[in-house]
Amino acid sequence: MIPSTPSLRLPMALGSARPLHRLAAHATLGVGLWLTASSAIAADDFQYSRPSIAPETGSGYEEKPGWSTSSFAVAAANPLATDAGYQVLKAGGSAIDAAIAVQMVLTLVEPQSSGIGGGAFLMLAEDGEVFAYDGREQAPGGVDESLFLDGEGKPLDFMTAVESGRSVGVPGTVRMLEMAHDSHGKLPWKALFEPAITLATEGFEISPRLHQSIAATPSLADDEIAGAFYFNADGEALAAGETLKNPALAAVLTRIAEQGSSALHTGQIAEDLVARVRHHPDMPGVLSLEDMAGYAAVERDPLCTPWRQWEVCGFPPPSSGHLTLMQILGMMAARPAIETPVKDGVPTVEWLHPFLEASRLAFADRGRYIGDGDFVDAPGGDWSTLLAEDYLAKRAELIKDQSMGSGAAEPGNPAPLESALASQPEQPEHGTSHISIIDAEGQALAMTTSIEQAFGARIMANGGSDQPGGFLLNNELTDFSFRATDDQGTPIANRVEAGKRPRSSMSPTLVFDRDSGDLVASLGSPGGAAIIHYTAEAIDAMLHWDLDAQQALNLPHAITTGGTVYLEEGRFPDAVVRDLQGLGHEVETRELVSGLQALRVTEEGIFGGADPRREGVVMGD
């Protein structure tokens, strides 16, 4: 059923003069969900009430039921955060309003993964248009390509670089949310901070996952503020179930609530943040007050890619997420149909082999071509050359019955490049969170938000407060290639440059029906480079194999960036391992801790799933 054509607004000129992607004129959420123009509502219409949500019993792999709602839903990585979004939606707030409340609560309750000291990408659909807001961290103006090299020009040890002032990029999440709220918000900005400020002031119960993350990060104790805050007097990680108050964060959030993003980017909070970076005891960074004040979120052209009967919309560079995952899915679609992609809840070798081979090829292109588009030319001047149907069909021909083997995949030639680039070797990437929301009036979003490693750079800032707590600073700059060139001196697209945004794997995704323009799904995940595999698998499973959102997220994972294949530990029968080895794959098993969140529009409304590997839940009415 298609409701009356929603009015299409002119593209908004916010930070980018480029045209925005516009969906088919009949874009809507589908059955029962209508698009109407948003109108502002008063702060008094939102009264946050503190929920009594106890932490889950454990973390690891916990079966989840999947959640059915009729008109709106929010999926986030922590029940307190999901509940804050739910209360905002219930009060008539828009999806972006709810996302702001969720993000602020995540800063408090899932500080290891994301927060106001980090960056994010946000895909948002409203009134038949799709928007892409870039809040990715930015390299300070004072850095150059030697940022992560030692005195002899050799790359620093990865964790040494992470735990330093050098890895901290200018945070962008708050500026990005403010930009999106200016255009798509309904509730006043200030009201959206109420849940986080209340929980930070009154205290929240530490979840098992937060406890485990603190315990697994002993170096966090080296930071003056974080050490005193997340560990007890005996130096032990605070226990799950303990109540933790964060008055320093409550004070910072109160100032951002009242004054907007400039309270973070200028003045006392920025001064404190910059001082923490510049006075890092081991390896200071050069982040400046000018870098903080000068940061701007950017509205980019979303990438919307036809795939089977859907249009899949995702983020352009500086994220490599959409380009790489759609290369994988595009190559799969160019090959003969797979009869049985999944059996007894486990992907079959019939599906795994081409998926892994396509991943090898897609990651070879990513390593060669993708970097911040404000600094790096796209092949042929347009990123979509990497997704052209004929190009992917040719790449798919490289997938044979036997694996091409570790390290064998070479980048293709999608279109001419003005200057030669060298491939970037893969680096470890590990703290990120995903939020999917659909509101009752049809605004939908997918936002992936990060401070990079667990607890980011392991530096806590507190806005100059003398109270306990604060917020964590990102280490997102270690997503740059540590080396600027290959051994022949050819530059790498994702090398460090002043003012550049590091390449990301984050893949917030909105899917639409190609014919009607109806919203079909919102999803995404943390997981470093494996975000790409997790999201691609979930899209294929949910849309093409027609699993429900929860079944799709439960599937065991298999990943490769071109070398060893990693299968999720304990989730695949031995026969699958043997069969893949027989096809020439080097196979190892390990934990693959995705944090997928997905909302799928159904005949009845919305069905949501949350990753059984983390603490996420879905709420809605």
Question: One symbol per residue from 30 to 69: x for binding ligand DON (CB under 6 A), - otherwise; what is it?
Answer: ----------------------------------------
Residue 103 binding ligand DON, by CB under 6 A: no
Interaction residues for ligand DON, span 527-546 (CB under 6 A): 527-528, 531
d(CA 190, CA 127): 25
Of 97 and 452, nearer to ligand DON (C-beta) is 452
Of 409 and 531, nearer to ligand DON (C-beta) is 531
Query: Using CB atoms within 10 A of its CB, is residue 564 exposed (0-12), middle (13-18) or buried (19+)?
Result: middle
Question: One symbol per residue from 388 to 427: x for binding ligand DON (CB under 6 A), - otherwise; what is it?
Answer: ----------------------------------------
Binder among 430, 464, 516, 545 for ligand DON (CB under 6 A):
430
Quote the least distance from Cβ 448 to ligand DON, whole Å.
8
Residue 452 binding ligand DON, by CB under 6 A: yes
The candidate with the shortest Cα–Cα distance to 101, out of 168, 195, 28, 169, is 195
> Which residue stretch of 221-229, 270-278, 499-507, 573-581 sits at the interface with ligand DON (rule: CB under 6 A)?
499-507
Residue 505 binding ligand DON, by CB under 6 A: yes
Residue 431 binding ligand DON, by CB under 6 A: yes
d(CA 347, CA 536): 13
d(CA 415, CA 302): 21
Of 412 and 456, nearer to ligand DON (C-beta) is 456
Quote the least distance from Cβ 81 to ligand DON, whole Å.
16
User: Measuring CA to CA, how many Å separate 520 from each of 310, 509, 533?
Assistant: 8, 11, 20
Binder among 165, 317, 526, 605 for ligand DON (CB under 6 A):
526
Residue 592 binding ligand DON, by CB under 6 A: no
Quote the least distance from Cβ 165 to ligand DON, whole Å.
18
Residue 504 binding ligand DON, by CB under 6 A: yes
Residue 333 binding ligand DON, by CB under 6 A: no
- DSSP secondary structure code for residue 583 in this structure: T
Residue ranges of E strands in 274-343: 298-300, 303-307, 310-314, 342-343
Binder among 89, 123, 496, 506 for ligand DON (CB under 6 A):
506
User: Measuring CA to CA, how many Å separate 374 from each of 320, 371, 580?
Assistant: 14, 9, 40
User: Which tokens belong to 514?
Assistant: 């190609």
Quote the least distance from Cβ 505 to ligand DON, whole Å.
4
Residue 122 binding ligand DON, by CB under 6 A: no
Residue 317 binding ligand DON, by CB under 6 A: no
Of 366 and 571, nearer to ligand DON (C-beta) is 366
Residue 479 binding ligand DON, by CB under 6 A: yes
Of 192 and 536, nearer to ligand DON (C-beta) is 536
User: Measuring CA to CA, how many Å separate 251 from each of 115, 210, 273?
Assistant: 15, 22, 15
Of 379 and 527, nearer to ligand DON (C-beta) is 527
d(CA 175, CA 187): 17
Contact call for residues 84 and 422 (beta carbons, < 8 A): no
Quote the least distance from Cβ 449 to ligand DON, whole Å.
10
Residue 194 binding ligand DON, by CB under 6 A: no
The secondary element (H helix, E strand) that includes residue 513 is strand 509-513
**11-36 b/e (C-beta count within 10 Å ≥ 16 → b):** beebbbeeebbbbbebbbbbebbebe
> Which residue stretch of 6-14, 156-164, 406-414, 430-438 sits at the interface with ligand DON (rule: CB under 6 A)?
430-438
User: Measuring CA to CA, how many Å separate 135 from each of 191, 289, 400, 505?
Assistant: 22, 18, 40, 14
How many residues touch ligand DON under the rule CB under 6 A: the total is 15
Of 439 and 479, nearer to ligand DON (C-beta) is 479
Give the number of residues written for the chain.
621
Binder among 28, 107, 432, 561 for ligand DON (CB under 6 A):
432
Quote the least distance from Cβ 320 to ligand DON, whole Å.
8
Of 169 and 354, nearer to ligand DON (C-beta) is 169
Scanning the structure block, which residue is given the tokens 């999947």? 66
123 three-state secondary structure: strand
**What is the chain's alpha carbon radius of gyration, rounded to the nearest angstrom?**
23
Residue 83 binding ligand DON, by CB under 6 A: no
DSSP structure string for 137-166: -B--TT--TTTTB-TTSPBPPHHHHHSSST
- In sequence order, the β-bridge partners of residue 589 are 567
Quote the least distance from Cβ 591 to ligand DON, whole Å.
11
> Which residue stretch of 184-192, 292-300, 332-340, 500-508 sits at the interface with ligand DON (rule: CB under 6 A)?
500-508
425-430, Cβ contacts within 8 angstroms, sequence gap of 24 or more: 425/367, 425/481, 425/483, 426/363, 426/367, 426/529, 426/561, 426/562, 427/158, 427/478, 427/479, 427/481, 427/482, 428/158, 428/528, 429/478, 429/479, 429/505, 429/528, 429/529, 430/454, 430/528
Considering the candidates 173, 432, 449, 509, report the single residue annotated as catalytic.
432
Of 506 and 541, nearer to ligand DON (C-beta) is 506
Question: Which residues are CB-contacts of 139 (< 8 A; sequence separation ≥ 6)?
Answer: 147, 169, 170, 477, 480, 496, 497, 498, 499, 500, 501, 502
Catalytic status, residue 432: yes
Q: Which residues bind ligand DON (CB under 6 A)?
A: 429-432, 450, 452, 476, 479, 504-506, 526-528, 531
The set of catalytic residues is 432
